Amino acid sequence: MKSLRAAWVVGALVFVAGCSRFGNEEQPQERHERIVSLSKQYNEIIYALGAQRDLVAVDISSTYPPEIKSLKTVGYHRALSAEGIVSVNPTLVLHDNNVGPEQVMRQLEQLKIPMKVFETKGEDIASTKALVGEMGRYFHREAQADALNQKLDADMNKALATAKTFTKKPKVMVIHFGRAMNVYLVMTKNSTAGKMMEWAGGEMAVTGDKGMVQLSPEVIAQADPDVLLLTDFGYDRLGSPQQVATLPGVGATRAVKSGRVYRVEEHDLVYLGPRTGENVLTLQELIHRGDAEKAAAPVPSEREPGAGR
């Protein structure tokens, strides 16, 4: 009887040990990384996938979603310091090759800190979906990636279908920072915002080889946009459309005179991601708002009092 009891105890211990061993094997992702991500596009996708657990620091331009602001920052992605990155003890640095200076990246390589760049660029809708899928596979969030891409498709299809119903394309100017040294930093037709504006059924008031250009007040007034969008940094410094109207050149535009001045978030316009369809729909509502109001207004006939005044 004693021998049977002893054998049962040994068997139970072997079983428990076996369960523990197999349990460890089933949880390889429980080992925590310390990831520093230097791309705002990557960071939005990481959060959208629900894969942010191991993210310990980001570059200072990564501002979406709001909870990302609780993480440490390691400087601007093109003006990094090796010391700032090393100070958070990273086990992996993610970046999209839009980083610098070059000597800092060489220092990180010499320190043998692992770095990864995802293969897909994410510069149009198709490649953005491919990037979401690639990152989903990397973080073992394939189902979440599929759901994000399905929503992106649905939102974009809705936006493009609605854009076809508009009879005119409003001319839109996007001022990124407000006035500095008597010039304005303005987004062009060649920017990511320019693509989004086209999808929304509008057109940028400014062209150029680069995504952003500096313009004088005189050129702003001459461009004379129908709609003026200010990104959060510049708008918040001014505080109201009334203050925007006091800016040289800007106050003379038909956008200001007709009250079509709106605030937009910078991070919604400078890269493509899971929310791009949502952001295009928001732009669409803003830039055509005045048109909708005009269309809804009754047109006086010649028989009505006041017609022709």
Mind listing the domains of the chain with CATH numbers?
Answer: 35-154 (3.40.50.1980), 167-293 (3.40.50.1980)
pLDDT of 240: 86
Q: What are the distances in angstroms from CA 295 to CA 167, 228, 292?
A: 11, 20, 5
pLDDT of 8: 43
pLDDT of 292: 52
pLDDT of 31: 61
Please name which of 118, 78, 81, 64 lies closest in space to residue 96, comparing C-alpha atoms.
118
Q: Report the side by side order of strands in the sheet with 115-116.
A: 72-73, 55-58, 35-37, 92-94, 115-116
Phi, psi of 188 (to 5 degrees): -105, 175
pLDDT per 10-residue tile (average), the chain, 309 residues = 44 39 41 92 98 97 96 95 96 97 96 97 97 98 98 98 96 86 91 98 95 95 97 89 92 95 96 98 93 46 35
pLDDT of 274: 98
- Cα separation of 191 and 196, whole Å? 9
Q: What are the distances in angstroms from CA 166 to CA 138, 170, 200, 286, 292?
A: 41, 10, 10, 13, 10
149-177 pLDDT, tens digit each: 999 999 999 999 999 999 999 999 999 87
The pTM (predicted TM-score) of the whole model is 0.83
pLDDT of 253: 97
Q: What are the distances in angstroms from CA 84 to CA 68, 77, 88, 104?
A: 18, 12, 7, 10
pLDDT of 44: 98
Please say whether the beta carbons of 147 and 264 come within 8 A.
no
pLDDT of 63: 95
